[in-house]
Amino acid sequence: MSAGSNKERLVEFLFTEWQRGKYADKLGNRMLVMTHGGYCHKLTSQNGRVIAEELTDLQCDHEEADTRILLHAKHASSSTEQVVIRSPDTDVAILACAFTHNIDANLLFAQAQNIACDTWISMLYLVPSEMICV
């Protein structure tokens, strides 16, 4: 899907579709946070219905998902002790290293297919003018 407009239409379709009641059981007691355009919504299930709640604190105009992921990690860290970012993109790992001090949870970076390379970003130590991963 190389055309950006196709990606945007797919995400809008999924956002609309997943609000239908038939997905309430699939959601169960989980929460799905979905970003589409500049908006972000939380989808939850209540009494056989899917409830969409706008998350205004996660609205942004970041064009790249790399930085938007960190905004979501920061938001998630307010309600959990561990946040996992799963991405094959090393740019995301570098950004996670740079912004880990802004995230109030243990941060794990997991490459999509390579469990052996998972890294606890919060285990980084800043040494005079250089960063060392341990």
Average pLDDT of the residues in 62-68: 79
What does pTM read for this prediction?
0.68
Q: State pLDDT tens for residues 78-133.
A: 888 888 888 888 888 888 888 888 888 888 887 756 555 555 555 544 444 444 44
pLDDT of amino acid 24: 94
Question: Residue 75 above 70 pLDDT?
Answer: yes
pLDDT of amino acid 68: 86
Structure tokens of 102?
A: 């802004």
- Per residue, the 3-state secondary structure of 3-42, as one string, reads CHHHHHHHHHHHHHHCCCHHHHHHHCCCCEEEEECCEEEE
